[in-house]
């Protein structure tokens, strides 16, 4: 179980989305924004991010995509896990 948490932690540290999200977020929020505008912006950004992942995962479940990805499974495992 600790290994899964460590892997998730390292994944999040190396993931550029967090810094990208923060940089975009700080560019669009200004000190003169109202609390309502800021809350709406946060909700919209989180919704867009969540919907991206939902659509991505649903796309991976399509038979054509699964068939295409399964051919690459051994190569993906070698690259990311060091095993065949």
Instruction: Centre a 10 Å sphere on the Cβ of residue 83 and count the other Cβ atoms it contains.
Output: 7
Owning domain of residue 52: 2-81
Q: Which residues contact 38 (CB under 8 A, 6 or more apart)?
A: 29
Token couple for 66? 């699964």
Distance CA 83, CA 68 (A): 20
Domain count, the chain: 1
Instruction: Please identify which residue in the block is written with the tokens 């993906």.
Output: 76
Do 65 and 59 touch, CB atoms closer than 8 A?
A: yes
Phi first, then psi, for residue 19 (nearest 5°) are -70, -35
Interval 20-76: pLDDT, tens: 777 777 777 888 889 999 889 888 888 988 898 899 889 988 998 888 888 888 887
**Which pTM value belongs to this model?**
0.55
pLDDT band at 84 (very low <50, low <70, confident <90, very high): low
- Residue 34 confidence (pLDDT): 92
């Amino acid at each position: 179980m600790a290994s899964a948490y460590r892997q998730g932690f390292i994944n999040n540290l190396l993931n550029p989305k967090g810094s990208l999200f923060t940089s975009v977020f700080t560019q669009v929020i200004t000190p003169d924004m109202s609390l309502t505008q800021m809350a709406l912006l946060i909700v919209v950004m989180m919704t867009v991010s969540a919907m991206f992942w939902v659509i991505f995962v649903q796309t991976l479940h399509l038979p054509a995509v699964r068939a295409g990805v399964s051919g690459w499974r051994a190569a993906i495992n070698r690259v990311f896990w060091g095993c065949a």
